[in-house]
Structures are given as structure tokens and as C-alpha cells.
Amino acid sequence: MTALFCVAFIVTQLLIIFAFLYGIPGTSYLGDYQQNRADSFLRLGTVADMKKAEVDQWIRNIRNDTRKFCASGITRREVARLLSIGQGGQAAATLRGNRAILSEVSGLFGSEHTTYRSIRIADARNGLIIFSSIPSEIGRSLDQDVGFLRVRQGNMPYHIDIRKDPLTEKANLSFCREILAPGQALGTTPIAVLLAEIDPEEMAAFILHTGVGLGESGEVVLVNQDQFVLTTLRKPLKDGSIALPLETRLEALPAVNAAAGAEGIIAGNDYAGVPVFAAYRHIRLSSDFGWGMVVKQSQREALASLREKMSLYAILSTVAVLLVLAVSLLLARMVSRPILRLSEVAAAVEEGNLSARAPEGGGDELGALGRTFNNMVHRVQEWHEELNLEVETRTSELSVANETLRKEIAERQKAEEELDRANAELEEKNRDLEQVVYVASHDLRSPLVNIIGFSREVRRSLSDIRAAIADISLTEQERKAIDAILRDDIDPALGFIAAGTEKMDRLLAGLLRLSRTERARLEIAPTDMDLLLEKVLRTFEFQIKKYGVTVLREPLPPCRGDEVQLNQVFSNLVDNAVKYLDPTRPGTVRITGKVEDGHVIYCVEDNGIGIPAAHQGKIFEIFHRLRPADSAGEGLGLSIVRKILYRHGGRLWVESEEGKGSKFLVSLPKKMG
């Protein structure tokens, strides 16, 4: 954390220094480096311009001096006279004594601007010196001198250059100027050429003086058109050699630019390979000839103040970073140690040590934090204890409740077992009962077969007896008595036997049917009740027509059930409805159905005699008959219907009012399990 902070701080510092040096991007602030560079450039430019002006002025002075000399009538006349006298030593001798020229020459030497090394006048035709301030030179030839040759042609009135003097072998600044004969027109070939020789160091003396403005490394370098150095250099070249005027060619860019005629300021390396700021200027000497001048200062010196500032910044930054580090460490000691301690305590609390406490020292935020934390842990501890207590209480309560529950479950299980046992017993009893009914109905029929069969046989025998009696002779009284026995006693007796047995048979058949209903397998399937009722009603067509019954049948919802048994149910209900109609009014039977709460409820309603409230509970009892005298049947119909519906998971009940009619309602589940 501290390290990160330090890195961030250092980066920020560096950014600030960078901004100081190179400016802030996107703003007009250019920074100290740019500022210093611009200052340096300005200084260099100013010095260069000044130096150039000085050189120009200096050359102009020479030009003026020489022009004055050459244009002077005395000079022209005397030179023309000298040339006409003749050549060689004679002429020289003559010249020596020529006070007129000497006075003019002395005018040159007396110039307040320049110190001339020598003054020469050469014959334009052959280059022979006809006059010189150094008398030994008279008679010698200058026909190899570049300046002489250029001026002699008459194209330009003068020529100035620093070159190696062909006579003295020294580097001389040589100013050559044409001398015309008296009255000769300008632009024509001169008769003689003046060569004024100047020590280049004289020029260098003021040129090279750069003053305090450019510091210790400030230097002015002058090169000719071919980049050869014209003045002595203050430093050795890159390779360590000492530069010699007119022998050493400079390759440094400012010198090259200046020699080529360009002017400007650049940052680059100088001849010694040192990084410099350099202003370069071209000093035009003639239309196609000039010098290059470089005014330069080492960047190191030019930016010295900047470097000092940078050093200062660096020191300040270092100090600041160290200070920040120290403060951070101090803060860390002050802040993080209690926080660490607090976090340790928190970890301990988290692991379950609720008695751990943080140090509460100090009145600052950390102290407050510690106290708050401790309060919190204290509360948690209290809660924890309360919770434990609560849990214990609840646990004991729960175990009591569990025990109670366990007992209850055991009791319930016991009760269920008992119920199961009772159910099993009931089922067995039911089975027994069914078996009893079945066997009874079956076995009771056997003797009936005999009773009926043999009573028929008896009747048959009776007619045999009658036939036999008819054949035998009997008294009228005897015959009457026998007839009376046969007709009045045996016949009715046989009749009663027959009626009784038939009734017995019907009852047994009913019982058998009931028992069979109980044992029949159910074939549950979706049943179209409209179709079913249609079938049922068709079987009652005869009775319906016979009694003129109006049957109203609404569309019925379908249900699921055993079609055969449902047919039996509705056959029974319709049969009852038709059977118990009131003969005193037109009979109506209405069959409706509706869906209600997952059940389908069908209703068979009649406007018949109705059922007295007292009887309504009994009509479903086995062998119960509403009006035994008035109707046929065994009184088993509704028992069977109810049994069938019970097996379907349905229900049968009645709503009836005596004298008005009855409603038999059948409920069946919409869906069977």
C-alpha cells in the first residue's frame, strides 16, 4: 500500500517536472526547456545578426578605403604613368621615388578601420607587381592569384577573399580592386589591380569575440564558400587534430548550411561533435561568392540554468518522496497497527472467541472504532448467550413436544391398527354375509324345486285320480264327497302352495341378484348417459304408452362407470317412477343432470304418489316395499341401486313429498380413481 503510494507520488513528481521542462500538452505553456531554448536561440540570432553586421561593416570600410584609393586621380595617373615607363627594376626604382602614390598608400595604411599587411599594385596585363608596400616584392608576378585574375577580367570591380598569399604563403584576407586609367570607362578591362592584404586574425579578433552573452562555450566560426575554416578554432576537431585555416574543411551542419547561403538557427552538433545551438548566417561578398558564419553555444551551457532547476527538482522530489515515505510509515504505525489488531480480534470473534476485545486506547477515530467494535462484540456475546439459553429452553420444550407427539403417534398407530383389524373383520363379515346370501338363495331354491315340482306331480296325480274315479262306480254321495275334497280342499291347497313357492322363488332370485351385484366385476369406462337413458327408456316403451306417461329428458353430462350396472340403476329408477305414478293425474317423468363440485348429479323426478316422510329412510332397506299390495316386485331394486352406486363411489338419495312426487338423485364422481 505504502509502496504503491510512493510509486504514484514519484510518477506524479516526474510528470510535474516533465511539465515544467517540456510544457503542458494542449496548453500554451511550453515549459522551461522550450523557454530556455527559445531564449538561447534569440540570443544566438541576435549575436549572429550583430556579427554579420559587423563583418559587413568591416568589409564595407575596406571597400570604401580601396575605392577611395583606386578612384583617386593621383593613383590612376601615377599607375598609368608607371605602366607606361616600362617594366622591371627600372619601374620599381621609379616607383620607390614616387611620392604621389606613397601618400595615397599611406592614406590606406592610415585607415582607422583596418590594419593592412601590405598594399600591392600589379600590372593587369602580366601580373607583375609594379608597386608594393614591401619593396622586395616589386617585379614579382601575381598571375596565379585568384583575386587578381577575377578582377583583371573586368567583370567585377573588386574581389574579396581569404586565401593563401602566393608570395608570403600566409593566409591573407585579400581585397582586390580594379584600377582604371584616367578617363577610362567603367566595365572595361582595368590597367592594374590593387591587392590590399589584411591579416585575417584582425577580423577574427572582433568577430570571434562573443562577449559574455554566449558564455564560455560561445564561438563564432567563419567558413568560405567551400566550407574551409577561415579563422582559428577554439577547440580541436572531433578526431583531436587542430584545425588550420584554409586547410580544414568543416562538415558540421550549421557551417555547411551557412556556406551554401542559408541562414537560420538549429540545434545540432558542432565540428567537435558537441551538441550546440547554432545560428548560421551567410555573408555575401559578391553576387556569387560569400562566407558562412556560425554563432554557436553548447547546449550544455545554454541550458545550464535548466539543469540546475532539474537538479533542484530532483533533490526536492527525493526529499519529498522520503518525507512521504516517512510520514506513510508513521501513519501506518499509527493507523494500520490498531486496525490490524482490530482485524485480528475480529477474526478471533469470527472463529467463535466472543470474549476477545480490541484495544480501546486513543481518543481518535480508531479508539472510537475499537470501542464501538467491543460494544458490538459484547452485544453479540450477550445475544449469543441469550440465544443459547433460548435454544436450550426450546430444545427441552421440543423434546417434551416430541415425546408427546411420539406417544400420540403410537396411540394413533394403535388406533389405526385397531381400525384396520375392525375393517378386516368387517370385510370378512361382509364376505360371510354375501356367502350366506348366496348359499341361502341357492340352497333355499333346491327344496322349492321339490315343492313346486311335486305339487305339480300331485296335481297331475289328482287328475289321474279324477279320471280313475270317473271309471269306478260310486254312490252320488260318495262321488260328491270325493269331489268336494278334491275341488274344495286339495285344489286350493295346491294353489296356495304354488303361490307361496313362487313368491319364495322371486325373493330368492332377488337375493341372488343382489349377491351377484355385490360380486360382479366393475368395468369402468366413459359412459354416454344420453345413449344409456335412451336404451333404458326403450325397454319401458310399452308401459310409457300404456299409462300415457310424459317423459322429459334433458341432455345429460357424461360420466365414468360400468355401463351394465348403470343401466340397472336407471332401469330401476325409471321403473319405480312409472310404477308409482298417481293414476288420478297424467304422469310425468323428468330426467336431468348437472355437474357439481367434481360430481355428476342425475335426477329422476316423477309426479307420482310420493313417499311419506316416515318411510323415506326405509325404502332402501332390503325387501322393503312401499305398497306391497299394489305392486309386483321383491323390494330389492333400490337396495341394488344403492349398492351399485356405493361401489362406484357414488350416492343415492331421495327428496319426496307424499301426494306430489319423488326425486331420486344419483351422484357419481366425475372421474373414477
Which residues make up the interface to another protein (CB under 8 A)? Answer: 441-443, 445-450, 452-454, 456-457, 501-502, 505, 512, 516
Closer CB to another protein, 207 or 437, in the complex: 437
Q: Which is nearer to another protein, 517 or 616 (CB)?
A: 517
Nearest to 161 by CA among 283, 248, 344: 283
Pairwise CA distance, residues 133 & 580, whole Å:
182
CB of 562 to another protein, least distance (A): 15
Closer CB to another protein, 453 or 617, in the complex: 453
Based on CB atoms, which residue is closest to another protein, 47 or 511?
Answer: 511
**What is d(CA 168, CA 264) in angstroms, rounded to the nearest whole number?**
37
In the complex, what is the shortest distance from the CB of residue 508 to another protein, in angstroms, rounded to a whole number?
8
Q: Which is nearer to another protein, 133 or 515 (CB)?
A: 515
**Complete DSSP assignment for 31-57:** HHHHHHHHHHHHHHHHHHHHHHHHHHH
Among 541, 557, 547, smallest CA distance to 580 is for 547
What is the smallest separation between the CB atom of 619 and another protein, expressed in angstroms? 27
The radius of gyration of the chain's CA atoms, rounded to the nearest angstrom, is: 77
Least distance to another protein, CB of residue 444, Å: 9
| Cβ-based nearer residue to another protein, 398 or 449 | 449
CA angle 169, 172, 173 (to 5 degrees): 160
Closer residue to another protein in complex, CB, 302/636:
636
Full 3-state SS string of 508-530: HHHHHHHHHHHHCCCCEEEECHH
Smallest separation, CB 529 to another protein (Å): 26
CA nearest neighbour of 663 among 580, 584, 568, 566: 580
- 641 neighbors 550 (Cβ within 8 angstroms): no
Q: Which is nearer to another protein, 284 or 513 (CB)?
A: 513
Residue 629 CB, nearest approach to another protein (Å):
23
CB nearer to another protein: give 472 or 632.
Answer: 632
**Least distance in angstroms from the C-beta of 449 to another protein:** 5
Which of residues 368 and 436 has its CB atom nearest to another protein in the complex?
436
**Min CB(636)–another protein separation in Å:** 16
3-state helix, strand, coil in the chain (%, to 5): 55, 20, 25
Q: Indicate the angle between helix axes 88-96 and 73-85, nearest 10 degrees.
A: 150
Q: Are 663 and 604 in contact (CB under 8 A)?
A: yes
Interatomic CA distance for residues 151 and 120, integer angstroms: 14
CB atoms within 10 A of CB 46: 13
Instruction: Kindly report the number of other CB atoms within 10 A of residue 205's CB atom.
Output: 11
Residue with cell 592610415: 110
> Closest distance between another protein and the C-beta of residue 439, in Å?
8
Q: Which of 225, 260, 273, 274 is nearest to 246 (CA)?
A: 225
Which residues on neighbouring strands pair with residue 132, listed in sequence order?
120
Is residue 221 within 8 Å of 293, Cβ to Cβ?
A: yes
Residue 314 vs 449, nearer CB to another protein = 449
Helical packing angle, 337-350 and 365-471, nearest 10°? 20
Tell the residue number behind the cell numbers 389405526, with chain if given. 416
Distance between CA atoms of 76 and 69, rounded to whole angstroms?
A: 9
Residue 516 beta carbon to another protein: minimum distance, rounded to whole angstroms = 6
- Residue 365's SS3 state is helix
CB of 493 to another protein, least distance (A): 16
CB of 640 to another protein, least distance (A): 15
Nearest to 136 by CA among 161, 159, 168: 168
Whose Cβ is closer to another protein: residue 257's or residue 515's?
515
Residue number with CB closer to another protein (14 or 449): 449
Q: Which of 647, 651, 620 is nearest to 636 (CA)?
A: 620
**Least Cβ distance, residue 503 to another protein (angstroms):** 11
- 604: burial class by Cβ within 10 Å (0-12, 13-18, 19+)? buried
Instruction: Give the largest CA-CA distance in the chain.
Output: 243
